[in-house]
Amino acid sequence: IVPEKEVQQLQQCLPKANFIGSKIWKYQGYWYHDNHLQNVLEFQRHFQARDTDLIIGSLPKTGTTWLKSLLFAVVNRVSYSANHHQNPLLQNHPHELVYSLETDVYNKAFVYPRPHHLNELSSPRLLSTHLPYVSLPESIQTSGCRILYITRNPLDTLVSLYYFSIKVMKNYFSTDILKMILGMFYPTPTMQDFFEAFCEDRIPFGPFFDHAVGYWKASLEHSDKVLFLKYEELKDDPTVQLKRLAEFVGMPFTSQEESDGVIQKIIEMCSIKSMKELEVNKSGVINKLFDKDSYFRKGEVGDWTHHFTPPMVERMKKLMDEKLEGTGLSY
């Protein structure tokens, strides 16, 4: 275990900023919450990838949960058909089937899952991370494991992050009296606060564009190692994207499966509408703090149009042009 003292010493040398009332630290060019830094170090030092591992990479709120469910459904489709009541996706939240490495497995606040439980998972192990490509543990970069990255329009990501964070804060200040007292010191953040943090490149696991560009470049250089997916493309043509995904993980759909409607069944089972209706996704918490249902909100493209003023949109467009120039990546 990385000693807390070491983390504290490291923190003294790292740039520090505020993100909506909490401290974040810049480590290897990216921002992390106080309590995440130790997990990140543990993950970097101790994780041993297997050649067969399939690892989802993403920034929070870009479609991680959806991709977890799709990946699980594709990989396990022979064992469990989409409408079979024993399909684990009908009885577990997607985050309980695909563990996040730094926030679940290497989080010492949890009893389960712990690093040794990784050995108990059968291959291919399905895992996820919010770490940027440059900070991935060496064995992920050098082994034959594959990475599936998902990104999303930054304004829609921001809207999603805003609603998710507000809900977490409300839960955190659990009693009315706490809410009243703490509310005086920490007024509820506004969308403008989130927007400013984003534009100033201080959001957890960000900067957003650097994160996406890192994986984008890796996917161009090593197309067999990194698959780059966009939330909007998944929404627009899930069949095409699911076929890409299945081919990438070495389990392409057979023509028999296609004619049997297997792809459509998976899309339907993993749709936000179906996921929201499942009892298992309606109540309870993930990581002691996050309501399971808060991972399924609207699931739409373009919700941002209701939340930002024209100058804000213009500012984001400029930022995007500047950060993505010459990369070939667009939103």
Instruction: For residue 63, state whether it binds ligand A3P (rule: CB under 6 A).
Output: yes
Q: Is 61 in the site for ligand A3P (CB under 6 A)?
A: yes
| Among positions 60, 88, 115, 189, the unique one binding ligand A3P when judged by CB under 6 A | 60
Residues 200-229, one symbol each (x = binds ligand A3P by CB under 6 A, - = not), give: ------------------------------
| 70 SS3 class | helix
Q: Which residues pair with 290 in a beta bridge?
A: 286
The piece of 41-49, 134-142, 220-228, 298-306 that touches ligand A3P (CB under 6 A) is 298-306
- Considering the complex, what minimum distance in angstroms separates the CB of residue 250 from ligand A3P? 24
Task: Catalogue the E-assigned strands of the chain.
Answer: 16-19, 22-27, 30-33, 54-58, 99-100, 126-129, 146-151, 226-230, 285-286, 290-291
Between 17 and 272, name the residue whose CB sits nearer to ligand A3P: 272
Asked if 119 and 199 touch (Cβ cutoff 8 Å), the reply is: no
- Please tell me the distance from the alpha carbon of residue 250 to that of residue 120, in angstroms, as a whole number: 22
One of 243, 297, 315, 323 touching ligand A3P (CB under 6 A): 297
| Selected binder of ligand A3P within 160, 165, 241, 281 (CB under 6 A) | 160
268-287: which residues touch ligand A3P (CB under 6 A)?
270-272, 275
| Measured CA distances, 237 to 119, 138, 206, 267, 325 (Å) | 36, 34, 28, 10, 26
| Among residues 38, 39, 64, 107, the one that binds ligand A3P under rule CB under 6 A | 64
Rounded CA separation 207/135 (Å): 13
- Span interacting with ligand A3P, options 24-32, 49-57, 172-180, 295-303, rule CB under 6 A: 295-303
Which one of 71-79, 96-104, 192-200, 290-298 is the stretch in contact with ligand A3P (CB under 6 A)? 290-298
Residue from the set 45, 222, 298, 318 that interacts with ligand A3P by CB under 6 A: 298
Distance between CA 15 and CA 44 in Å, rounded?
Answer: 20
Residue-wise DSSP of 282-316? TS-EETTTEEGGGG-S---S-GGGGT--HHHHHHH
d(CA 150, CA 64): 7
Q: Which of 92, 264, 303, 319 binds ligand A3P (CB under 6 A)?
A: 303
Taking CB under 6 A as the criterion, the residue among 47, 66, 198, 290 binding ligand A3P is 66
Catalytically active residues, by annotation: 130
Residues 16-35, buried b or exposed e (16+ Cβ, 10 A)? eeebbeeebbebeebbbbee
Which one, 47 or 295, has the nearer CB to ligand A3P? Answer: 295
Residues that bind ligand A3P (CB under 6 A): 58, 60-66, 156, 159-160, 163, 270-272, 275, 295-299, 303
